[in-house]
Amino acid sequence: MFLENNKHKGWIEVICGSMFSGKTEELIRRMKRAQFANLKVEIFKPSIDVRYSEEEVVSHDANAIQSTPVESAQNILLLASDVDVVGIDEAQFFDDGIIEVCRKLADSGIRVIVAGLDMDYMGTPFGPMPALMATAEYVTKVHAICVRCGDLAHHSHRLTADDKQVLLGAQDTYQPICRHCFNELRNK
């Protein structure tokens, strides 16, 4: 399944932050650089993420790269053969199995680049992201700009009354806001 004698050492990179912070943009940038270097790449995303495309990872700025939608993290292991770099977008939507999948890929010599929300709309750690950050060799936290005051934003403020943890959306559903504005809105 994986390259048996891979001479490269694998590792895990996590790109995290709020909505509209550029996580997917950075994932696409890194994956395209790997392609430019003639590395074999494969990008995966959860099949529930069909906001912009069913078969592409697409940033809010409309940059895109071909991907493979998967139902579960385990499917990534089955589909990631003979590759140098694996990209995974929206990792917060996978179950905790994504952590072991990323470890196995990295242990087999593959560079793994994972992007996802580090916190949900309530400001609590989101799904497997905290464990992925703890497991990763490299963590990049990117920030949006608060739409209320202009400071650095790291919260994804939900604009609807829906209280489900997973609610796919874009500018019509979420806004990036800073800690101060987030606390101000929570205390109303």
Residue 129: CA atoms inside 13 Å, Cβ hemisphere, count? 23
Q: Is residue 138 part of a domain?
A: yes
- Domain span including residue 136: 11-143
115 or 165, which is more confident? 115
pLDDT in tens, 73-101: 999 999 998 999 999 999 999 999 999 99
**184 catalytic, yes or no?**
no
pLDDT exceeds cutoff 50 at 5:
no
47 or 26, which is more confident? 26
Q: How many Å apart are CA 180 and CA 71, to the nearest integer?
A: 37
Q: Is residue 155 part of a domain?
A: no
Query: Count of domains in the chain?
Result: 1
**pLDDT value of residue 4:** 46
Are 125 and 16 within 8 A, CB to CB? no
> For residue 29, which phi and psi values (nearest 5 degrees)?
-60, -45
Burial of 104 (C-beta count, 10 Å sphere; 0-12/13-18/19+): middle
Q: Which of 4, 42, 90, 184 is catalytic?
A: 90
**pLDDT value of residue 107:** 97
187 or 108, which is more confident? 108
**pLDDT value of residue 141:** 97
Q: Is residue 173 part of a domain?
A: no
CATH number at residue 75: 3.40.50.300
Q: Is residue 2 part of a domain?
A: no
The pLDDT confidence band at residue 1, using thresholds 50, 70 and 90, is very low
pLDDT in tens, 137-168: 999 999 999 999 999 999 988 877 666 655 55
Percent with pLDDT over 90 in the chain: 64
Q: Is residue 137 part of a domain?
A: yes
